């Protein structure tokens, strides 16, 4: 691979790393040429000529594995860990800024034993100062951990440069709460065995209009979830017979959608940067692509086998969107009122969910 740039690792590593990333496809970005997304030389040329800054938003699944690597842990052989290592190798080598604040907030929300936010921030700064070759070696299967020397060097760099620590973005709970509310409604509809798949989606459209809550991100998610071809691991434990497990699944998935919400917002509004989203959750990546480029029809056709079903789904979306436009100022007031009472609305849906789970458990006995 001839190049005018000095790569931070050997040409063979660059070629194999790029091939791995193309195969795993963990990035979405609003680049003029999507084929450039895994081309390191394109990124380095962009940087060399003084192009706009490029930032990448990581999801928590990748972030947590990167933290483990920066702690010196052995890396497991899961595809997500391989993608996390390959992603860091590429982003550091390509001089891409990494945004991780939403990952910190998701970590704070967890009840599991985790490092404090300050500790996670410091560990990630260490991770971001490790030479990309270390990550490339892990991604390509030549190593299982970051070398002690690289970790020591990165720790020294971070200790000598405390100013590199970042401030939090605005706390993303507004988006998270909105997604959680709609996802709870989706679970309630999924538990209604009297409704067929398409009927459940139509009921969600109707509720969205009546409740003055149109969350396009969550409804696109529902379109995939209610389809006959939804991925097997999608929305894990949402149908659990244990209320706490079901609600935890809703909360976790709400964080997933929050990443995409912020990435779409920044991609559309931040004209000083190009934004990437990095994940190995292919449903999230599909939703991100559809939201950025308005390719809903092709996305729905991927999961729904009937063209007539796809047409009805598109019509349902358009009906909701037209209703929002027609109602104008009145709906905006309704939405504002609903958001002020979102905790009350969530509590009412949670109570309904609890009662349905109890009912289903009694029937199963």
Winning range, highest mean pLDDT, from 37-51, 136-150, 260-274, 319-333 = 136-150
327 falls in which pLDDT band (50, 70, 90)?
low
Residue pair 81/75 in contact by the 8 Å Cβ criterion: yes
Domain total in the chain: 2
Q: Does 144 lie in the same domain as 26?
A: yes
pLDDT for residue 109: 80
Average pLDDT, stretch 184-211?
Answer: 93
CA 125 – CA 145 distance, rounded (Å): 17
Query: Do the domain assignments include residue 275?
Result: no
165 falls in which pLDDT band (50, 70, 90)?
very low
- End-of-domain residue from the set 95, 129, 164: 164
pLDDT for residue 4: 47
Residue pair 208/320 in contact by the 8 Å Cβ criterion: yes
Q: Does 203 lie in the same domain as 81?
A: no
Residue 171 has pLDDT above 80, yes or no: no
pLDDT for residue 1: 44
- Note the pLDDT tens digit of each residue in 8-37: 777 788 999 999 999 999 999 987 777 789
Query: Do the domain assignments include residue 36?
Result: yes
Task: For residue 11, give every residue at least 6 positions away whose Cβ sits within 8 Å of its Cβ, in sequence order, or none.
Answer: 1, 3
- Note the pLDDT tens digit of each residue in 72-100: 999 988 999 999 999 999 999 999 999 99
- End-of-domain residue from the set 121, 140, 164: 164
Q: Does 182 lie in the same domain as 157?
A: no
* Three-class DSSP category at 53: strand
209 falls in which pLDDT band (50, 70, 90)?
confident
* Three-class DSSP category at 298: helix
Domain hosting 77: range is: 11-164
Residue 164 has pLDDT above 80, yes or no: no
CA 31 – CA 29 distance, rounded (Å): 5
Q: Does 246 lie in the same domain as 157?
A: no
Residue 163 has pLDDT above 60, yes or no: no
pLDDT for residue 334: 65
Residue 108 has pLDDT above 90, yes or no: no
């Amino acid at each position: 691979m001839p190049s005018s740039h000095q790569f931070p690792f050997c040409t063979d590593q660059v070629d194999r790393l790029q091939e791995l990333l193309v195969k795993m496809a963990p990035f979405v970005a609003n680049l003029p040429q999507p084929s450039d997304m895994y081309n390191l030389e394109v990124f380095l040329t962009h940087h060399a000529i003084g192009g706009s800054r490029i930032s990448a938003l990581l999801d928590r699944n990748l972030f947590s594995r990167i933290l483990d690597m920066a702690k010196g842990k052995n890396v497991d052989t899961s595809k997500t860990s391989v993608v996390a290592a390959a992603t860091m190798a590429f982003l550091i080598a390509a001089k891409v800024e990494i945004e991780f604040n939403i990952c910190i907030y998701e970590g704070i929300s967890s009840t599991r034993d985790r490092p404090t936010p300050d500790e996670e921030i410091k560990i990630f700064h260490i991770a971001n100062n490790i030479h990309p070759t270390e990550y490339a070696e892990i991604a390509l299967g030549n190593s299982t951990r970051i070398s002690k020397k690289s970790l020591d060097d990165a720790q020294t760099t971070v200790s000598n440069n405390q100013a590199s620590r970042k401030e939090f973005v605005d706390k993303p709970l507004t988006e998270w709460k909105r997604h959680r509310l709609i996802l709870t409604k989706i679970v309630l509809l999924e538990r209604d065995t009297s409704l067929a798949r398409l009927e459940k989606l139509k009921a969600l459209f109707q509720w969205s209009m009546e409740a003055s809550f149109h969350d396009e991100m969550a409804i696109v998610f529902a379109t995939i979830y209610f389809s006959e071809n939804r991925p097997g691991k999608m929305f894990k434990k949402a149908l659990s017979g244990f209320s706490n497990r079901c609600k935890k699944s809703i909360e976790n998935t709400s964080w997933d959608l929050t990443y995409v919400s912020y990435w779409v917002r920044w991609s559309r509004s931040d004209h000083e940067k190009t934004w990437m989203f990095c994940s190995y959750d292919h449903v999230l990546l599909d939703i991100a692509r559809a939201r950025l480029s308005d390719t809903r029809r092709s996305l729905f056709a991927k999961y729904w086998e009937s063209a007539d079903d796809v047409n009805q789904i598109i019509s349902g979306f358009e009906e909701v969107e037209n209703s929002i436009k027609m109602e104008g100022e009145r709906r905006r007031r309704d939405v504002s009122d609903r958001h002020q009472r979102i905790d009350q609305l969530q509590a009412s849906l949670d109570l309904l969910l609890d009662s349905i789970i109890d009912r289903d458990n009694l029937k199963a006995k």
